[in-house]
Amino acid sequence: MKVRLAKRTGFCFGVKRAVLMAEAALKEKGSIYSLGSLIHNGQVTRVLAAKGLKIAKSESAIKSGTCVISSHGISPLIAKRISDRGVKVIDTTCPFVLRAQRIAKSKSLAGYGVIIVGDAKHPEIKALVGFVSTQAIVVRDGLEARGLKLDPKAKYIVIAQTTQGRANFAEAVKAISAKRTKGLKVFNTICRDAGERQGAAMRLARTVDVIFVVGGRSSANTRRLYEVSKRRAKIAHLIEAEDEVRLSWLKGVSSVGITSGASTPEWVVNKVVKKILEKGAVH
């Protein structure tokens, strides 16, 4: 049985940077907080917890010490509330997320309404909305965009959650453009890693009997990868770790593809490869 890896697996640049920054702070301080999960990956979260990382469910729970902010970013108001309490803030916001925040802030200050294509409940979008000084509208897809009631006299910009699917963003932009508002500017803020990862997964999915997408079920980019892989592959499975690989999934399979979400470390991918090769040898 042949096992092929997608061109991009393992941590993306932004997650790798966030984990390295958190590990350096843990080494220095012994124990620090993260506001919510630092990373949407159970295995890495457990490793960081063993090194002293404590997850605070709300900012009010952090009264002192050091707090690390995830690569998804944080609303400026909440960041201020935390630092006003004397808590040291280590901000690992990914540079691609920062770009979207800068655009949202500067364009809303210039009078544009901001339409974000993404998931309103995701931490990145909750933070991004905090940078908008005018009206922030979040739509999930083209269908929701079609239902928007926009002011024909107002100016709007459209930006994307960094891990959006390109096709989904394009469909939403098309629906918004059809509304013929006064001025519409589109900024594609999908990060390069997310776009290339999806492209590599789609290409691989077409060439194998079954594709495994390795990553946290709570990770937006992992779920997106699974969606695009599923559309191209004969069979696709989303798994978080090697112990989820079932022997029956490999019956009669001659080629397996593996891709991973941006918050899945290389060592988890390697364990999945090993398990598939072991189980595949049984058939």
Residue 228 in the binding site for ligand SF4 (CB under 6 A): no
d(Cα 92, Cα 69) in Å, to the nearest integer? 6
Residue tagged 């004397």 (tokens):
86
Smallest distance, ligand SF4 to C-beta of residue 233, A: 22
Residue 94 in the binding site for ligand SF4 (CB under 6 A): yes
Is 124 catalytic? The answer is yes
d(Cα 162, Cα 140) in Å, to the nearest integer? 13
* DSSP E strand boundaries for the chain: 2-5, 32-35, 53-56, 66-69, 88-91, 113-117, 136-139, 155-160, 183-186, 210-214, 235-239, 255-260
What Å distances lie between residue 264 and 91, 118, 203, 243, CA to CA?
21, 21, 20, 15
Smallest distance, ligand SF4 to C-beta of residue 189, A: 9
* Region near ligand SF4 per CB under 6 A, out of 11-19, 38-46, 171-179, 180-188: 11-19
Q: How many CB atoms lie within 10 A of CB 82?
A: 21
Among 59, 124, 240, 242, the one annotated catalytic: 124
Of 104 and 245, the one with the shorter C-beta distance to ligand SF4 is 104
* Region near ligand SF4 per CB under 6 A, out of 25-33, 93-101, 203-211, 239-247: 93-101
Smallest distance, ligand SF4 to C-beta of residue 92, A: 9
Amino acid at 217: R
Smallest distance, ligand SF4 to C-beta of residue 249, A: 27
d(Cα 159, Cα 105) in Å, to the nearest integer? 12
Residue 38 in the binding site for ligand SF4 (CB under 6 A): no
Q: How many CB atoms lie within 10 A of CB 27?
A: 10
Smallest distance, ligand SF4 to C-beta of residue 196, A: 10
Residue 32 — φ and ψ, nearest 5°? -140, 165
Q: Return the residue nearest ligand SF4 (CB atom).
A: 14
Instruction: Identify the residue among 6, 8, 14, 279 touching ligand SF4 (CB under 6 A).
Output: 14
Residue 222 in the binding site for ligand SF4 (CB under 6 A): no
Of 127 and 276, the one with the shorter C-beta distance to ligand SF4 is 127
Instruction: Identify the residue among 66, 221, 229, 259 touching ligand SF4 (CB under 6 A).
Output: 221
Amino acid at 235: I
Residue 71 in the binding site for ligand SF4 (CB under 6 A): yes
Residue 96 in the binding site for ligand SF4 (CB under 6 A): yes
Smallest distance, ligand SF4 to C-beta of residue 148, A: 25
d(Cα 256, Cα 149) in Å, to the nearest integer? 46
Whether 74 and 33 have beta carbons less than 8 Å apart is answered as no
For ligand SF4, the binding residues in 248-267 under the rule CB under 6 A are: 262
Whether 81 and 101 have beta carbons less than 8 Å apart is answered as no
**Which residues carry out catalysis?**
124
Give the residues lining the site for ligand SF4 (CB under 6 A): 12-15, 71, 94, 96-97, 162-163, 191, 193-194, 221, 262
